[in-house]
Amino acid sequence: MTRSDAYPSRVGCDARILPRKDPVLHGSITPTGPLSVDQLESFDRAGFLAIEEFFDDAETLAFRDEATRLRESHAGGRAPEVIIEPGSGEVRSVFAVHRSSAAFRGLARHPRLLAAVVQILASAAYIHQSRINYKPAFRGREFYWHSDFETWHVEDGMPRMRAVSASISLLENNVHNGPLMLVPGSHRHYVSCAGRTPERHYEQSLRQQEYGVPEPDALEELVGQGGLVAPVGAPGSLVLFDCNTMHGSNGNITPWPRSNVFVVYNSVENALEEPFSGQPPRPEHIASRDFTPLEAAG
C-alpha cells in the first residue's frame, strides 16, 4: 500500500503550486513567551520575523569566535560535515555545529530562543539540523531560491510543515554581502517541483542546489504577490523563518564575510519518517533522527 503524501514533489509530475495544508502558528496567539502578539501575527502573515540585537554583544562575540575556530579547524579537511564552495577551497558551510561545539550546543538551547520557537510550534522541539553558512568574502557563492521544507519533506521524510529555522548573524548582514532574502507570504504556497531526486543528492545540493528549486514562473508569481525582503542587521540579530518560506541569498564579492549560524527546530510531533523520495535517509549530520525534546540551557 503506497503511503499518502500531503506534499508530493519531485515525483515525476510537472511543477505546480499547491496550497499549504498546515497552520503557520500551531497554537493560540498568546504572548506566553518572548514573542509579542504583534510579532506572532507578523510571523504568521509574512512567514518570517526579524529581531535586531536578540543576542548581546558578549554572546555574539563568543559565537563569532567559535565559528572562526570551527572554520579554521576544518580548513582543508574533508569531514562530511564540511561543505566547500564550488570553484574555491573556501569553507561554505559546517553542519551539526550543535554537536561539535559547546558554544553552539548552548545557543541551540538558549532559553529565550527556545521559548520563542515553542510559541510558534506549540509543542516541544528537537534539533533537525544546525549549520554555519560562512558566505566568505569575495568567494561566497549564492544559495539559489528554495523552500527548506520541500527538501526536508522529500529527502528527510519530514511529514508536515511544523518546523522553524533560526538564523543568527555572526557578522554584519548588509545589502551588499549576500543577506538572506525571503518572499513574504510564500510560506502559504507549496511549490511542488518537477523531476526526480538524484541519488545522494546532498553531495551536490549543499554546494549548488539544482533539484527541488522553483521554476522562474513560480518564483515570479510568489514575488509578484509578496515582494522580497532582505533583513539586514548587526551581529546578534535573529531571523525566525517558517520551514516553507521561499528564500535564497546572492553571492558575496565584497570584502565583508556574511556568516550566519542556523538552527532548525522541528516539532516532536512532526518527527521524520522515511524520505518521500523513496531513497535512504540523508546522513545524521544533515537531518538528525534524535527526536529527544530540547531543554533550555541552565
Shortest distance in whole angstroms from residue 190 CB to ligand 6CS: 16
Going residue by residue from 207 to 236, which x/- string records binding to ligand 6CS, judged by CB under 6 A?
A: --x---------------------------
Q: Which residue do the cell numbers 511543477 mark? A: 15
Interhelix angle 111-121/37-46, rounded to 10 degrees, is 60
Among 54, 63, 143, 149, binds ligand 6CS (CB under 6 A): 143
If the CB atoms of residues 22 and 148 are measured against Fe ion, the closer one turns out to be 148
Q: Which residue is nearest to Fe ion (CB)?
A: 148
CA 130 to chain centre: 8
Told to check if 156 binds Fe ion by CB under 5 A, we report no
Shortest distance in whole angstroms from residue 95 CB to ligand 6CS: 8
Told to check if 22 binds Fe ion by CB under 5 A, we report no
Q: Which residue do the cell numbers 522553524 mark? A: 164
The closest alpha carbon to 241, from 94, 78, 73, 50, belongs to: 50
Q: Where are the extended beta strands (E) located within 96-177?
A: 125-133, 143-146, 163-169
Told to check if 148 binds Fe ion by CB under 5 A, we report yes
Shortest distance in whole angstroms from residue 38 CB to ligand 6CS: 28
Three-state secondary-structure class, residue 202: helix
Q: Where are the extended beta strands (E) located within 85-135?
A: 91-95, 125-133
Interaction site with Fe ion (CB under 5 A): 148
Interaction site with ligand 6CS (CB under 6 A): 129, 131, 143, 146, 148, 151, 205-206, 209, 286
